[in-house]
Structure 1
Amino acid sequence: MCGIVGCILKENNDVAPILFECISMLEYRGYDSIGMATYDNEINVRKAKGDIKTVNGKLNFKNMKGCLGIAHTRWASTGKPTDENAHPQLDDSKSVAVVHNGTLENYSQIKEELIEKGYEFKSTTDTEVIPNLIREFLDEGLNMEDAVRKAAGKLKGSYAIVAFAKDEPGKIVAIRKGSPLIVSYGKEGYFVASDTPAVLNHARNIIRPNEGEIAILTKNGIEIHDENGKSVKWESKYIDWSPEMAQKEGYDHFMIKEIIEQSDAVKNTLGQKENIKKVIEEIGDVKRICFVACGTSYHASISGKYLIESLAGIPTDVVIASEAKYTAKTWNEDTLVVFISQSGETYDSLMALKQARETSKTLAVVNVAGSAMTEEADFVIQTQAGPEIGVAATKTYIAQLTAIYLFAGFLAGEEDLIEQLEKVPKYIDEVTIQRKYIKEISSRYDFADDAFFLGRGFSYPIALEGALKLKEITYIHAEGYAAGELKHGPLALIDEDVPVFVIIPPGDDYDKTMTNLEEVRARDAIILSVGAKGDERIAENSRIVFEIDPEVTDIIAPLVYIVPLQLISYYVTLDKGYDPDKPRNLAKVITV
């Protein structure tokens, strides 16, 4: 998720101060680098790796000249965060400037073709092929609009592209496919951006072009054309949000926004299939796998252990990163040590990674490109959740699980599992659309001092993660247990005042989990079950049931059954008057 902005002013004033203000509002979409290009008889570019404040201190974006410009804040996906890889990207004649949000699947092929034609490349990004393609088509005699349209037609993947060229200096052209893009206008001029927060201090009339449509901005106004170049009648919507509300896209908190974005996180991470296949081929044969992680990532790792051992038959361990030194002496050249981290900067995991490199192959599964773990590990899989602002991990957890499922599925040659993953976004959306019902359920649990979450097999890590979410943000004491462990202690704590959340999807462990459900029911526990829609047996034995599509069997349940538990924690937190985005005593990244 990168932030992009373009602006052309009605008067011949310098656009840079406005452009810098706009892109600063989108820093939450990318922290890796920032850049800006303006036009003042020539294309002027300033860009560098780093956060906005630091880079601006060096480059002073606000004094750039020109009444037209584009800007970008990067969340790296292809190419490390470097000065050269920062946007805007130029063609090799420095006559076309482009900013881009998205991922191009066929950029390597296009790049090779352009190199054969004599084009030179300065970066390792996928984006740099775009201005060079536009340059090629401009040289063929096309105008800027048609050159952008033809260039976009050669691209596979997702993109929101904003570009301008010396050939038509008073014009900004934008197009989108699979990535967000809005167009807006105000008294000062005309804007294009990847998200509404960028422009709200200057323009509140928002237009949302359809995929494939081209937006053309000049100082005289906005035109939108369809794929055949015909003018499209557009309508704008007035947005009465504060900039902070806009960052949340109208949601009350980042956490609820990020829970709802989980279907997109799955879709985007599924786009890493080819990279994951390649990683598996490069790793080669291993006799043992060991996951190292903390917190939510640790729970994702337990799902990975169950998947790999049951599907591929490779012995797999899961180790808490801060305890890894006690396991490290068992790692050897036949071991693959897998580090799961949202930030890629978690101190304990990073220290364990440095130790693992001395003896074993290492793989980092991270959400932040260019983070420390991506530099240290032998192999990297980048999840595609985008920036996550809420401290309690939601969409990054789902993205981690998706990457782990792909890894395990390809490792074991289980194509059926890979096919099942394609349906997961739909299943998640079916849950999040029932937020009103989940909110009503949640209001019955804010009284609790303690809660238990029970699951077997693939549902056990769901129980662990569900309990963690509840304790993190509601401050209710909660524990996740393997359901078969009830008789080994926890059953002594069950009574009529204790909510018990039972995760019971269809599958091999259904009957045994039902026996455990009946055990807690016999102690008068308040039972909320998450199970298959239409399961009468669950309904008869539970106080409340949240129903999931019965096609979601136990093996993919971790990707779906966790979502209602996240939502329950969120709404209980609101009932208790706490801020779910900023739980006390906790931070997003643990670097000490």
Structure 2
Amino acid sequence: MCGIIGIISREQVADRLVDALKRLEYRGYDSAGVATLEDGTLTRLRAEGKLVNLAARLADHPLKGTIGIGHTRWATHGAATEANAHPHATPRLAIVHNGIIENYRELRTELEAEGIVFESQTDTETVAHLVTRELERGQSPKDAVHTVLQRLEGAFSLGFLFNGNEDLLICARRGSPLAIGEGKGEMYLGSDAIALSPFTDDIRYLEEGDFAVLTHDSVSIFDEDGRPVTRPIRKSVGKAFYVDKGNHRHFMQKEIYEQPEVLSHTLGAFVDMSSGRTRIPDGQDLDFSKIRRIALSACGTGFYAALVGRYYFERFAGIPCDLDVASEFRYRESPLGDVDLALFVSQSGETADTLASLRYAKSQGLKTAAIVNVQESTIARESDFVLPTLAGPEIGVASTKAFTCQLMALAALAIRAGVDRGVITPERELELTRTLTEAPRLANEAIRLEEVIERLARDMATKSHALFLGRGFSYPLALEGALKLKEISYIHAEGYAAGELKHGPIALIDETMPVVVVAPHDRSFEKTISNVQEVAARGGEIILITDASGAASGAVEGAQMIVLPDMPEILTPIVYAIPLQLLAYHTAIQMGTDVDQPRNLAKSVTVE
């Protein structure tokens, strides 16, 4: 969740550190800071709140120096105060940290017994004092860091700047991502390639347990046992994809508008457009013909994508699927004897719970596959099969284009699985893939309804609660629509299977309760409409998201409608997601919330 940047240069670095941190704002943060060496002496500035506050302090009190580290913090240990902001420092060093040190209490107690006085409530400061103690015992910076790393428990990435040493940065990772960039006479470290994109596209990714020693001209990487290792340089795509909001008010709006294009990209990875045949990207040998059962797992919006995926795999390939929230998967200890594939869905590829579930599945001997948007991520690197969603960097915290690309990937995979298993004939495969190619166009049609949706959002913004209903493929969308609304507008919202309405939620219905119903004119339309009639009979305010056939049926008098084109059922989760995104977006605009960086949320949840 936090952002880390470090630079060794022959030029001043403070402003460059702040500029790089701006590229990590999407991770979410509540304070920020930088530290440099000014004539070899450690100096630092920190500020609560947004980076503009830090920039203002730097304008008043410029930091000099050609080496430095910076950080954006999302509070875990201690409140969002300047005292708890990073970098933390001792007379010997400064440190930035992403993650959680799980055993910091025992370590802090040990240090306090030796007379160490702490200035913050954070787990990070404990690491700073531990390394300082090893330095004072005569260890070199490299050996001091290695000694302390062996005592730490948890998931983290760390960056160290040492007082008096203007040609040395040390960094380490366990669980949380960290990248090293190489330039001409300069070295960089960062939480991901986006932070480093203005400086270089030559990136090394540290593997699990690695730590590295950086100078102006060299990078030395060591494994957790301290043995030298080599990590390849990769050409990052971060620079090519880094863009601003353009003509859009927010990144979220821009990313909603990008969906037709990125859906095309994702489809192209899974379908040979010339033949209309499905394929596994990059020629990977993923054969569904002998897969008896799939275990699906994800978090948040990814979980709702996986729920749609379960419908896809069972409907189109006849493969039974288990589905778990990733934070529960490994603790449930479900028997996995007939599971032949564990499939994980993650935008960032760094989600801590999903990564832990992946590792649990591998420990149980399962083949693993990952649907990810970041192909260089930890989850991608540790999976047997990598199934990319080519959405490009998603800056808005609330997922939009990554979600629909996940659905596209899952739909194409389910078709591929059906072909492998003989459930789908070659003729049916061509029919389905042709249908998928309609998704970009239909997504654009959905975006063109923005003006209608904006009018509905003005009324939604006056409410305190909302219900979302759907059946079949539309049930996961009801859940996702409710999540989007509460994420960015802070209106309490709940999603339900429409058939569950009378099993409790109907007690909440009155004239103050808006009910958003996702109801394409599909096999379950009539049953869904019967539930909507129950809402209407109790005075509920209905927003019906349907298609031309559903609207023409005149089934619900007085409902406000968002009318999409008719489309095959396989497409409805992908296309109907867009009106839900726009409804949440424009409601949040009316509420005056921070759309791209909603309170208490982070883009990539890299701690459990």
Report if aligned partners of 1:287, 1:315 keep a CA contact under 8 Å in 2.
yes
- Aligned twin of 1:491: 506
1:375-454 counterparts in 2 under 5 A?
375-413=381-419, 414=424, 415=429, 416-454=431-469
Supply the distance in 1 between the matched residues of 2:187 and 2:330 (Cα, whole angstroms): 47
Supply the distance in 2 between the matched residues of 1:563 and 1:547 (Cα, whole angstroms): 12
Report if aligned partners of 1:344, 1:367 keep a CA contact under 8 Å in 2.
yes
C-alpha deviations, 1:407-448, integer Å up to 9, x for none? 101111241222211110101111112322221221111111
Whether 1:60 aligns to 2:57 is no
1:172-251 counterparts in 2 under 5 A?
247-251=244-248
2:502 match: secondary structure: helix
1:536-551 counterparts in 2 under 5 A?
536-538=552-554, 540-550=556-566
1:101-112 counterparts in 2 under 5 A?
none
Q: Which has the higher contact order (CA 8 A, sep 6+)?
A: 2
Report if aligned partners of 2:349, 2:373 keep a CA contact under 8 Å in 1.
yes
Supply the distance in 1 between the matched residues of 2:24 and 2:600 (Cα, whole angstroms): 22
Report if aligned partners of 2:358, 2:383 keep a CA contact under 8 Å in 1.
yes
CA change 1:54–1:310 in 2 (3 A) is: closer
Report if aligned partners of 2:411, 2:570 keep a CA contact under 8 Å in 1.
no
Whether 1:555 aligns to 2:552 is no
1:19-30 counterparts in 2 under 5 A?
none
C-alpha deviations, 1:488-530, integer Å up to 9, x for none? 1011111111000011102110111111111111111100001
C-alpha deviations, 1:358-405, integer Å up to 9, x for none? 221111111112211112211111110110111101011011111111
1:514 to 529, 533, 539: 529
2:570 match: secondary structure: coil
Report if aligned partners of 2:26, 2:395 keep a CA contact under 8 Å in 1.
no
Identical counterparts, % of pairs: 39
Counterpart AA for 1:269: T
Whether 1:331 aligns to 2:333 is no
Whether 1:462 aligns to 2:477 is yes
Q: Once superposed, what is the RMSD of the aligned Cα atoms?
A: 3.8
Supply the distance in 1 between the matched residues of 2:261 and 2:368 (Cα, whole angstroms): 28
- Aligned twin of 1:259: 256
1:585 to 576, 600, 605: 600
C-alpha deviations, 1:232-281, integer Å up to 9, x for none? xxxxxxxxxxxxxx710121110100111111121111121143494464
- Aligned twin of 1:306: 311
Report if aligned partners of 1:294, 1:320 keep a CA contact under 8 Å in 2.
yes
Counterpart AA for 2:308: S
Counterpart AA for 2:254: K
- Aligned twin of 1:38: none
Whether 1:341 aligns to 2:366 is no
Supply the distance in 2 between the matched residues of 1:560 and 1:280 (Cα, whole angstroms): 30
- Aligned twin of 2:153: none
1:530 match: secondary structure: strand
Supply the distance in 2 between the matched residues of 1:522 and 1:437 (Cα, whole angstroms): 25
1:502 to 517, 542, 547: 517
Counterpart AA for 1:275: I
Supply the distance in 2 between the matched residues of 1:340 and 1:509 (Cα, whole angstroms): 27
CA change 1:252–1:532 in 2 (3 A) is: same
Whether 1:366 aligns to 2:400 is no
Whether 1:525 aligns to 2:532 is no
TM-superposed deviation, 1:555 = 2.7
TM-superposed deviation, 1:333 = 6.4
Counterpart AA for 2:400: T
TM-superposed deviation, 1:481 = 0.6
Supply the distance in 2 between the matched residues of 1:296 and 1:375 (Cα, whole angstroms): 22
Report if aligned partners of 1:266, 1:398 keep a CA contact under 8 Å in 2.
yes
Report if aligned partners of 1:29, 1:386 keep a CA contact under 8 Å in 2.
no
Supply the distance in 1 between the matched residues of 2:479 and 2:235 (Cα, whole angstroms): 39
1:270 to 267, 272, 275: 267
TM-score by length of 2: 0.59
- Aligned twin of 2:193: none
2:460 match: secondary structure: coil
CA change 1:431–1:588 in 2 (3 A) is: same
Supply the distance in 2 between the matched residues of 1:26 and 1:423 (Cα, whole angstroms): 37
C-alpha deviations, 1:534-560, integer Å up to 9, x for none? 52235743431001011x233321101
CA change 1:332–1:377 in 2 (3 A) is: farther
Whether 1:355 aligns to 2:370 is no
CA change 1:74–1:460 in 2 (3 A) is: farther
TM-superposed deviation, 1:334 = 4.1
CA change 1:74–1:478 in 2 (3 A) is: farther
Report if aligned partners of 2:303, 2:345 keep a CA contact under 8 Å in 1.
yes
Report if aligned partners of 1:27, 1:52 keep a CA contact under 8 Å in 2.
no
TM-score by length of 1: 0.61
Report if aligned partners of 1:29, 1:74 keep a CA contact under 8 Å in 2.
no
2:360 match: secondary structure: helix
TM-superposed deviation, 1:125 = 7.6
Counterpart AA for 2:335: T
Supply the distance in 2 between the matched residues of 1:347 and 1:258 (Cα, whole angstroms): 24
2:590 to 569, 575, 591: 575
Q: Which stretch has the larger CA shift, 539-548 or 495-504?
A: 539-548
2:291 to 286, 292, 297: 286
Q: Which sections of structure 1, spanning at least 5 residues, go unmatched?
A: 1-16, 32-49, 63-69, 84-121, 128-159, 161-178, 180-192, 198-245
CA change 1:194–1:432 in 2 (3 A) is: same
Supply the distance in 1 between the matched residues of 2:201 and 2:337 (Cα, whole angstroms): 37
1:578 match: secondary structure: coil
Supply the distance in 2 between the matched residues of 1:558 and 1:385 (Cα, whole angstroms): 17
1:492 match: secondary structure: helix
Q: Which sections of structure 2, spanning at least 5 residues, go unmatched?
A: 1-12, 28-172, 189-196, 208-230, 271-278
Report if aligned partners of 2:302, 2:347 keep a CA contact under 8 Å in 1.
yes
CA change 1:491–1:334 in 2 (3 A) is: closer
Supply the distance in 2 between the matched residues of 1:466 and 1:409 (Cα, whole angstroms): 26
Report if aligned partners of 1:529, 1:538 keep a CA contact under 8 Å in 2.
no
- Aligned twin of 1:322: 327
